[in-house]
Amino acid sequence: MGDAAGRQLAEVASNYSNLEFDLARGGRGKRDVIAGRLLETILDCPRALVVNNNAAAVFLILNSLAEGGEVLISRGEMIEIGDSFRVPDILRKSGARLKEVGTTNKTHLEDYRQGFTDRTRLVLRVHPSNFRISGFTSKPSLEELSALCASRSVPLVEDLGSGCLIDLEAERIEPEPHPRESLSRGADLVCFSGDKLLGGSQAGIIAGSSSYLQRIRHNPLFRALRVDKLALSVLESTLIAYLTRREELEIPVVRMIRMEAGLLKERADSLVARLSGLRTDLALETVEGASVIGGGSTPSQSLPTRLLRLRSSRHSAARLEALLRQSDPPVLARLDREAVLLDLRTVFPHDDARLIEILSGIE
């Protein structure tokens, strides 16, 4: 998290807070009201609420709006979101019945139309944030799907996975869908993570239709899936950074994404020069490479970077990687054939001195 979020977290953690107390009215309030209002402003939507992660958000939407009924989903969107958690499993546990339409690579609007029955309660569209299917593929636009759902009075929900509130095209990366754009194009509800690309605390955000969100909030499970004051404090601080257009200054993941390769080269060259004067059994050089954003987002895409390549005259690359991983603090590196690679994009500049100390202490 950024420095501002860290200060806010420390303040909330060590003092009293008005988590569920409305200071203006002198009565009980809702714990996520501030985060909700910030999201409503940023996303230009009627309502937003926060739960403890995006899997919980998907589960709560399905349980609140589709329990006992059918949910239409394209076969090409039956994804595993990480650590063996799969969309079909979440659907089943929610009490909704899964109904697949289309094929893995092609799903047409007519497939959805033919899938509707009297038991259809919801159409779920899942953004493939952690994989790509390319080639002979197609799917209906969000506008087309929205019009079909509206004609059947059925909500259209889009699970965006890793919420992205910045323009990735400026970094020459294929853009992730912005939640505001999905809502403006016809989704009744969107859900996404509050960490990962957004850069806040672990959270699941649900935004969109006020009437649907009212039903979700009244679900008894909402209380079981709510977030605590510490996560809310970090999320609120992060959202304020976006609202005030200070995201590059205050949110580390945004700063890392936008860091120029030239600046990384200068740091890498400086580290090589400083380490070369301290060690003789480590061969160091800088090489061109690529940074992968990760976090289940922007698959198969990367940012140009400058890597620090290390070789040891005493240790294999695998052993060198293990020694770095077991250092204090641990340094996580990449293995590339007989070398270890360090990407300074993910090392804070103020930690360069600590990195030099760790590398110079390897025996």
Q: Domain residues of the chain, as ranges?
A: 3-253, 259-360
Which of 86, 84, 57, 87 minimizes the C-alpha distance to 72?
Answer: 87
Q: Supply the CATH classification number for the domain 259-360.
A: 3.90.1150.180
pLDDT at residue number 208: 97
Longest dimension (CA), the chain: 75
| pLDDT tens-digit profile, the chain (363 residues) | 889 999 999 999 999 988 988 888 999 988 889 999 999 999 999 999 999 999 999 999 999 999 999 999 998 887 766 655 677 788 788 888 999 998 878 899 999 999 999 999 999 999 876 556 665 678 889 999 999 999 999 999 999 988 888 877 766 677 678 899 999 999 999 999 999 889 999 999 999 999 999 999 999 999 999 999 999 999 999 999 999 999 999 999 999 998 988 899 999 999 998 888 776 678 889 999 988 886 555 556 788 899 999 998 889 999 999 999 999 999 999 998 889 999 999 899 999 999 999 998 887
What are the structure tokens assigned to 47, written together?
């309502």
Question: Which H or E run includes 225?
Answer: none
- Residues 144-171 as b or e (16 or more Cβ within 10 Å = b): ebbebbeeeebbbbbbbbbbbbbebeeb
What are the structure tokens assigned to 216, written together?
């979700």
Using CA atoms, how far apart are residues 187 and 56, in angstroms rounded to an integer? Answer: 19
pLDDT at residue number 137: 74
pLDDT at residue number 205: 97
- What architecture is domain 3-253? 3-Layer(aba) Sandwich (3.40)
pLDDT at residue number 344: 92
Using CA atoms, how far apart are residues 183 and 47, in angstroms rounded to an integer? Answer: 11
Give the dihedral sign, CA 228/233/239/242. negative
What are the structure tokens assigned to 188, written together?
């009744």
pLDDT at residue number 62: 95
Percent of the chain as helix, strand, coil, to the nearest 5: 40, 20, 35
Do the domains at 3-253 and 259-360 have one common CATH topology?
no
pTM for the whole thing?
0.89
Using CA atoms, how far apart are residues 207 and 192, in angstroms rounded to an integer? Answer: 9
- At residue 101, φ and ψ (nearest 5 deg) are -130, 155
